[in-house]
Amino acid sequence: MSSAGVVVIGVGNAWAGDDAAGLLVARIVRQRAPQEVTVVEHEGEPTALLDAWEGAQLAIVVDAIRTDGKPGRVEVFDATSHELPALWTATSTHAFSVAQAIELGRALGRLPRRLAVVGIEGASFSAGTRPGPAVTAALEPAAGRVLALAGA
Amino acid sequence: MSSADGRQTRTIRTDYLARVEGEGALHVRLRDGEVLEARLEIFEPPRFFEAFLRGRSFDEVPDITARICGICPVAYQMSSARAIEDAFGVEVDGPLRELRRLIYCGEWVESHALHVFMLHAPDFLGYESAIAMARDHRAAVERGLAIKKAGNELIAEIGGREIHPINVRVGGFYRAPRPRELRALVDELERARELALETVRLTGGFEVPDFERDVELVSLSESDRYPIDRGRLVSNHGLDIAPHEFSKAVVEEHVEHSNALYARIRGRGAYLAGPLARFNLNFDRLSSPAREAALEAGVGPRCHNPFQSIVVRAVEILYALDEAIRIIDGYEPPDAPAVALEPRAATGHGWTEAPRGVLYHSYELDDAGRILNAKIVPPTSQNQKSIEEDLLGLVQGMIDAPEEELQLRCEQAIRNYDPCISCATHFLRLHIARE
């Protein structure tokens, strides 16, 4: 597919350990993706995602997940017409998780035409720490998955 | 069921309390028709931040402390900047102060809109979440998102981006906006203002429990403005102090069940910070439209029912939008985007009104401007004791209510405070145990 109308949204907190994964993947994607791909780093409250993907043909949300899986594992989920798996919903430190923002968008008819979520399994989300080695090693493969999804 | 000693016992347990900022734990213990205990258990990242700020340069502090909260980063930036400026003997005034107040208005709007519509309104309209509410009340949810967006755009225009603004520094800003850049926001702020007025009416119509508490109300206060960015700390019980007196007036205690420190007024006890306190102590300094809307909605000039805090938040959204438009109308760019600073070895204190209540910072610095010690007291840890006392009174008054009703009411009562548990804790789980 063409890369026009594609928005990549890296979600996370740069100062909460592995929670920075989505932001760091977005930075790699920004360097490699064609200009027509919009890349956004989103920290903080997820209801703003509804504005970030407004009008997009394809939105790819990249976020750390915590499902008791192996740290650094990269999972891709098509959220266009299905809710995220329940385990994916528990990663946000905020009142609204990314999964809830997606469901709010669905309820309001404000999802992009296609929506993919790339999750990177994290292990430590402590305040004031940097990502651990497993997540750091997963950033490149995760960025590769994002670029492939974006058709770049 | 009956226990071995013949007492009537029941246990209610909820493992996850949703729709608060972050997570924590609540335990309520009942026996023979009496509430024995209500404990809010929280873990507190600000304490980690206090530790790793040591050795950092003063000019990094606003950006680092902003990371404590994704909902109210401006509050952390402003309180830290004020405290460090106090240490360096600098007062930021004139257009720079107005700009600070303006970006802070944006934060009040976005934070309150999130809480009112996405977190608290479902309690009053009988939904388990804003997602479920959106299916039946789409217009209301869209209204909340539109108000929130106006606040976010105000923050982005002045701060450089919506979350964790990058344009705030000790002494002012890195770049001051041009008047035309701010004027471009006014149409959207005016539209949001109309939506805020509708929100005051909407929330004023919500049915609230008949529940009042005589608690000490604490907020900043100034003679000529509704408190946002500075003031003395006052209360309805005679407190009236400057920032450097905070630690003398407010005692912080470790309690076994919480990682956060418990705050109380020395010699008295629990106090309430946040919108309800600001509103009661500063009603006459709201904008005229905000005052009138409050009175029409049935709150003010005094309001002691914590369940009406949702109406007060809506009134504060309206005020913040009025204030933002007023500041933009009168804005003259400053001569420089920041005042000059000269680091010196000193201790400084600063506070501002975060959306959830007064946020106090204090820093001890060396002569090169490096942090030797930091102290951060967020509003949620100040309100912990008051939340617990609300729950004690509330549960005692409805002790025979069905478990589900009791549980929902407790959750709603906690949400009255919009506890920023990501500022003050990790996990919030609710356990009600009837012994």
CATH code, domain with A109: 3.40.50.1450
Total number of domains constituting chain A: 1
- Could you tell me the CA-to-CA distances from A31 to A24, A25, B412 in Å, in that order? 11, 10, 46
> Poorest-confidence range of A109-113, A116-120, B64-68, B188-192?
B64-68
For residue A36, tell me if it sits in a domain.
Answer: yes
Chain B hits for A103, CB-CB cut-off 8 Å, are 131
At residue B165 the predicted structure's pLDDT band, cuts being 50, 70 and 90, is: confident
Residue B81, token pair as written in the block: 């900047």
pLDDT of residue A98: 86
Q: CA B231 to CA B219: how far, in whole Å?
A: 9
Report the mean per-residue pLDDT for chain B.
Answer: 88
Which token pair is A122? 């994290």
State the Cα–Cα distance between residues B170 and B416, nearest whole angstrom.
33
Q: How confident is the model at residue B51 (pLDDT cuts 50, 70, 90)?
A: confident
CB contact under 8 A, A95 and B129: no
Strand duo A58-65 + A114-121: pairing = parallel
Residue recorded with tokens 């009138």: B292
Tens of pLDDT, residues B204-247: 999 999 998 889 999 999 999 999 999 999 999 999 999 999 99
Reduced to 3 states (helix: H, G, I; strand: E, B; else coil), residue A4 is coil
Q: What are phi and psi for residue B183, nearest 5 degrees?
A: -60, -30
Q: Are A65 and A121 in contact (CB under 8 A)?
A: yes
3-state SS class at B389: helix
Alpha-carbon distance of B196 to B109, in angstroms, equals: 9
What residue has token string 């213990």? Answer: B29
Nearest to A45 among B114, B130, B135 (CB): B114
Considering only the beta carbons, identify the residue of B49, B70, B119 that sits closest to A44: B70
Phi and psi based region of residue B126 (left: phi greater than 0; alpha: psi -120 to 50; beta: remaining): left
ipTM (interface pTM): 0.86
DSSP secondary structure letter of residue B33: T
In a domain, A1, yes or no: no
* CB contact A97 to B (< 8 Å): no
Q: Work out the pLDDT band at B6, boundaries 50, 70, 90.
A: very low
Domain that holds residue A128: 6-149
CA B395 to each of CA A53, B20, B434: distance values in angstroms, whole numbers, following the listed order? 44, 20, 12
DSSP H helical ranges for B331-420: 379-397, 403-415
Q: Looking at the partner chain, which of A47, A104, A128 has a beta carbon nearest the beta carbon of B148?
A: A47
* Dist CA B257 CA B43 (whole Å): 10
pLDDT in tens, B57-93: 999 999 989 888 778 899 999 999 999 999 999 999 9
- Which of B415, B168, B183 is CA-nearest to residue B313? B415
Distance in angstroms (rounded) separating the CA atoms of residues B288 and B25: 40
Average pLDDT for B48-61: 90
Report helix, strand or coil for B55: coil
Domain annotation covers residue A139: yes
Q: Is A73 inside any structural domain?
A: yes
Domains of chain B (ranges; CATH) run 45-382 (1.10.645.10)
B contact test, residue of A45, A50, A92 with most B CBs within 10 A? A45
Asked, for residue A123, whether it belongs to a domain, the answer is yes
Q: Is residue A102 part of a domain?
A: yes
- pLDDT at residue B299 above 80? yes
pLDDT value of position B434: 62
Residue A22 lies in a domain: yes
Radius of gyration of chain A (CA): 14
Which pLDDT score is estimated for B255?
75
For residues B160 and A54, what is the distance between their CA atoms, to the nearest angstrom?
A: 21
pTM of the model: 0.90
Q: Tell me the CB-side half-sphere exposure of residue B197, using CA atoms within 13 A.
A: 14
pLDDT of residue A139: 98
pLDDT category of residue B405 using cuts at 50, 70 and 90: confident
- Distance, first Cα to last Cα, chain B: 9
Picking from B74, B109, B422, B426 by the largest number of A CB atoms within 10 A of its own CB, the best residue to mutate is: B422
pLDDT number for residue B76: 95
Interface of A with B in 55-84 (CB under 8 A): none
pLDDT of residue B21: 46
